[in-house]
Structure 1
């Protein structure tokens, strides 16, 4: 009976290649599965917290500020690509330190005020640690992109003990989400080399989406108050500036330099 071929053919060091045995590959596979499992559990912790807030809002306030929630854990291929692109070491400890969006959740809200309210409620929980916030609503990207990004660290309790897992949470409105989805498809189609006229149209569409957000939020307040809407300009978007501790009077950042809070 013929001997089965090895999973990875052995080569010599002189050929500039690495020899990996089947046992080493199995060990790497098992370690990768354990590594990704931690982020999957961290994701579930944050999803549970968001689900509790959504259900409590419906019961107590007769209002659901969350339109929908989507989540993902990066695939191994996507993770390897990011490790190579960032030029970091490929060991798991280095990946833990340098890549914080392995687990990600996107929360789509009805209105801009809901974005900040949910962020405050989620981050006020005593087992949630805020590592970083990038407020692209208060300071949109130059192309018009808006969203509130937060890296949150939550505890996960395993049989071996407690570990802290970072999870990226993106909060945005329906209009912001619609624009971002279209922008992503355009960039994918043109392999990031988007014609200038399309970029200008995207920026105009982002401004229109912001105006729509403002109008719909005023209508929402008017309906719930049972009276006239506040007299604010139709193009104004109510946003809250996130500042670092002790720097509340700092000037608002420019569109190309979104404010970041590291805690």
Structure 2
């Protein structure tokens, strides 16, 4: 067992190497990996208890377990020069994603009865300046009192917002999540952290103005379409292995994602470390999800799956609001611009659905019905997406084009 003094010494060595701009060597990385993996004993019983509590409070809660990525640990060492590695409280953690805001407080209260809570960061009562909300609870490890385990509680909407921050970091090669400044994209994300139904027309216009400037919808859509069928193929190949619950999800330098299923924790950690040593610039995560479902993994790890995000639907919601305003105020130019853009987006989405249906037919033709449940889940999702598109098209048909230009033409100068 590595002592805390040895861990803190390793942290100092790593910080010196990083600040001097050198590459961290394999010896230091192997020591760090040994320390990371030692947290498995600490997080396992916590995960089981937290999962039981969360499911009791709200049966549809999503619970995942992770040990902090090596690159994330090194990044935090660089960002926080006074923090000892042995005091890093979020190396091991589990996350609960709830579909009810009231459930978060109930789960938080139950956790406080089970463990010694060392610190709570309440971003629900006081959201971060960037708009993030959630509870970060730090508890004393029930196995080793010198270690801490982090428990994150998030509403599903906040989690999807946080995933969008990570996706934008990947697409634009930024580090907004780690505090890098980009005023316009930060303004964009802050506005999206607010309840969309409460946004006024000026705030919506600002979101779409920034989107237009940086082609956010377009770039997200391109990446999602690129990844959708390949990641589905991968899932079909592993979904019939019921015993697997450890996964490595990777996004490479071309924004292409892939998922691997591993038989057990030891095999998964070995594979993860080998992948990291082979390519320290790639973005991948090792996760544990009990009884995994494709839809749940897509929600919990949207920034690694890279195939969908609610923002695309939100964009349509915002654009429809603008179209209604333009229809009333007479902004023919921006009305037509938005309408054309929406039509192209809908065409792309319908084309993707047709491609996925072809893929399903080909898979069933080649493999029979050996992935029956996974195939049915896919078909159900396609049916829902197609229904939503049809509903949106019908709503657009109710709008009447205006005749005169208006204030909103500034969005697409």
**TM-score interval, smaller chain:** 0.5 to 0.7
Matches within 5 A, 1:215-254: none
Matches within 5 A, 1:1-263: 25=27, 32=32, 34-54=34-54, 57=56, 64-88=58-82, 94-97=84-87, 99-125=88-114, 128-156=115-143, 163-190=145-172, 191=174, 192=176, 195-208=182-195
Call closer, same or farther: CA 1:150–1:163 in 2, change over 3 Å. closer
Larger RCO (alpha carbons 8 Å, 6+ apart): 1
Tell me, yes or no, if the aligned pair for 2:136 and 2:150 is still in contact at 8 Å. yes
Alignment partners' CA distance in 2, 1:137 and 1:46? 23
Alignment partners' CA distance in 2, 1:210 and 1:34? 48
Alignment partners' CA distance in 2, 1:86 and 1:199? 22
Please list the CA deviations of residues 29-77 of structure 1 after superposition, one character each: whole Å capped at 9, or x if unmatched: 775455323312211121011122245x2xxxxx635521122112334
Where structure 1 has 5 or more consecutive residues not aligned to the other structure, the ranges are: 1-21, 58-62, 157-161, 213-263
Tell me, yes or no, if the aligned pair for 2:62 and 2:98 is still in contact at 8 Å. yes
Instruction: Report deviation, 1:165.
Output: 2.6
Equivalent position SS for 1:167: strand
Alignment partners' CA distance in 1, 2:147 and 2:60? 24
Report how many aligned residue pairs link the two structures. Answer: 169
Alignment partners' CA distance in 2, 1:37 and 1:64? 30
Alignment partners' CA distance in 2, 1:199 and 1:72? 27
Equivalent position SS for 2:39: helix
The TM-score, its normalising length taken from structure 2, stands at 0.37
Alignment partners' CA distance in 1, 2:158 and 2:197? 8
Instruction: Report deviation, 1:204.
Output: 2.3
Alignment partners' CA distance in 2, 1:36 and 1:200? 35
Where structure 2 has 5 or more consecutive residues not aligned to the other structure, the ranges are: 1-25, 200-413
Alignment partners' CA distance in 2, 1:209 and 1:131? 35
Paired residue for 2:314?
none
Alignment partners' CA distance in 2, 1:150 and 1:124? 13
Instruction: Report deviation, 1:142.
Output: 1.6
Call closer, same or farther: CA 1:138–1:197 in 2, change over 3 Å. same
Tell me, yes or no, if the aligned pair for 1:66 and 1:107 is still in contact at 8 Å. no
Tell me, yes or no, if the aligned pair for 2:54 and 2:107 is still in contact at 8 Å. no
Alignment partners' CA distance in 2, 1:85 and 1:120? 32
Alignment partners' CA distance in 2, 1:187 and 1:134? 24
Alignment partners' CA distance in 2, 1:200 and 1:81? 24
Tell me, yes or no, if the aligned pair for 1:45 and 1:154 is still in contact at 8 Å. no
Alignment partners' CA distance in 2, 1:30 and 1:202? 37
Tell me, yes or no, if the aligned pair for 2:39 and 2:67 is still in contact at 8 Å. yes
Call closer, same or farther: CA 1:124–1:82 in 2, change over 3 Å. same
Call closer, same or farther: CA 1:84–1:183 in 2, change over 3 Å. closer
The TM-score, its normalising length taken from structure 1, stands at 0.55
Call closer, same or farther: CA 1:120–1:43 in 2, change over 3 Å. same
Equivalent position SS for 1:106: strand
Worse-superposed segment, 77-86 or 139-148: 77-86
